[in-house]
């Protein structure tokens, strides 16, 4: 994904805002899954206790040892799966929020770059006009020379800042792309878990 202009970033920002809202709206569903898992786990444990009591009662009543097989209780697995779903949801929610903040900051940076670029263009135009007017007279020449140097220094400083912001923008785009891929991967995992 190429986030080179303000309108593209604004579009992605709106999409991310909608996605983050959708993820946030699923909180009740995740909590419902966790509650259902706890209820199911308690029901299984209750059943296992009743089965053990029934088995002990049969042993005592019939005086015959009942063969007990050691089976792992599914109640723990259910709680573990519910915990995994909750952890993945929290991770997805956090990454989504981070990506939204990242896009907001990127939009602000792009707007700042645009303003500085416009300022550079204005300064360059002023510099060009100053050079043209330089040929009018000797007195004007000294005055304009001083202004020209001032503008050149300011222009150089702004260009250096602009180049620095461009480099930062490239780094942010790479980080954003990585974050987006991670977010899409987590979202796909959550979607897969929801479909199960």
Query: Rounded mean pLDDT of the chain?
Result: 85
Write the burial class of residue 110 (CB in 10 Å: 0-12 exposed, 13-18 middle, 19+ buried).
Answer: buried
The reported pTM is: 0.52
Q: Longest Cα pair distance anywhere in the chain, in angstroms?
A: 124
With a pLDDT cut of 70, the percent of the chain lying above it is 90
How far does the chain reach from its first CA to its final CA, in angstroms? 31
Does an H or E element contain 56, and which?
helix 27-62
Q: Which of 60-69, 133-142, 158-167 has the highest mean pLDDT?
A: 158-167
Quick one: angle between helices 27-62 and 74-133, nearest 10? 160
Each residue's pLDDT tens digit, 28-83: 999 999 999 999 999 999 998 898 888 888 778 777 776 666 667 888 899 999 99
């Amino acid at each position: 994904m190429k986030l080179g202009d303000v309108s593209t970033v604004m579009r992605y920002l709106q999409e991310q805002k909608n996605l983050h809202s959708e993820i946030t709206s699923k909180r009740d569903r995740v909590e419902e899954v966790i509650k259902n898992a706890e209820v199911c786990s308690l029901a299984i444990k209750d059943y296992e206790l009743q089965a053990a009591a029934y088995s002990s009662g049969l042993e005592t009543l019939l005086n015959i040892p009942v063969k007990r097989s050691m089976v792992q209780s599914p109640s723990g697995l259910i709680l573990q799966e519910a915990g995994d779903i909750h952890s993945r949801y929290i991770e997805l929610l956090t990454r989504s929020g981070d990506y939204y903040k990242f896009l907001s900051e990127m939009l602000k940076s792009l707007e700042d770059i645009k303003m500085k670029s416009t300022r550079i263009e204005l300064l360059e135009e002023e510099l060009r006009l100053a050079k043209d007017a330089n040929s009018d007279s000797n007195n004007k020449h000294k005055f304009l020379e001083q202004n020209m140097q001032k503008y050149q220094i300011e222009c150089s400083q702004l260009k250096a800042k602009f180049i620095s912001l461009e480099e930062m923008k490239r780094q942010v785009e790479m980080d954003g792309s990585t974050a987006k891929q991670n977010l899409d991967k987590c979202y796909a995992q959550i979607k897969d878990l929801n479909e199960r």
